[in-house]
Structure 1
Amino acid sequence: MILYYNRKGIGDTLIVYLKEGGKQSVQTKNDVARVFDETTNETLGLNFFNASQFLGDQATGAVAVNAALIDLLNQKLTDAKVDLTLPVDVQPLIVAGYVSESKKHPDSDHMHVCQVDCGEETLQIVCGAPNIEQGQKVVVAKIGALMPNGTIIRPTVLRGVSSDGMICSARELALANAPQKRGILVLNSETQVGQDFNSLKKMHV
Structure 2
Amino acid sequence: MFLAFYNKEHVGDTLLLLAKETNHSVETQSHGQITRIYDKQTQETLAYNIFHISEHLHLDKTGFVTLSCEQVDVVNRLLQESGFMPITVDNSPKFVIGHVDSCIEHPDSDHLHITQVSIGEDKPLQIVCGAANVNQGQLVVVAKIGAVMPSGLIIWPGELRGVESCGMLCSAKELALENYPSQKGILVLEQGQVGQSFFQ
The one-letter amino acid of 1:163's match is S
Identity %: 46
Q: Which residue of 2 aligns with 1:25?
A: 28
- Alpha carbons 1:66, 1:88 under 8 Å: kept: no
Superposed, 1:1-205 pairs within 5 Å as 1-19=2-20, 20=22, 22-30=25-33, 32-37=34-39, 41-52=43-54, 54-60=57-63, 62-79=64-81, 81-120=82-121, 121-176=123-178, 181-190=183-192, 192-197=193-198, 199-200=199-200
Distance 1:47 1:189, change over 3 A: same
TM-score, normalised to structure 2's length?
0.78
More helix by share: 1
Unaligned segments of structure 2, at least 5 residues: none
TM-score, normalised to structure 1's length?
0.76
Deviations 1:34-68 (A, max 9, x none): 223456554321122344562432132x2224423
Deviations 1:121-141 (A, max 9, x none): 301112111222322222212
- Alpha carbons 2:3, 2:89 under 8 Å: kept: no
RMSD: 2.8
Of residues 121-130 and 146-155 in structure 1, the stretch that sits farther from structure 2 once superposed is 146-155
Q: Which residue of 2 aligns with 1:203?
A: none
The one-letter amino acid of 1:6's match is N
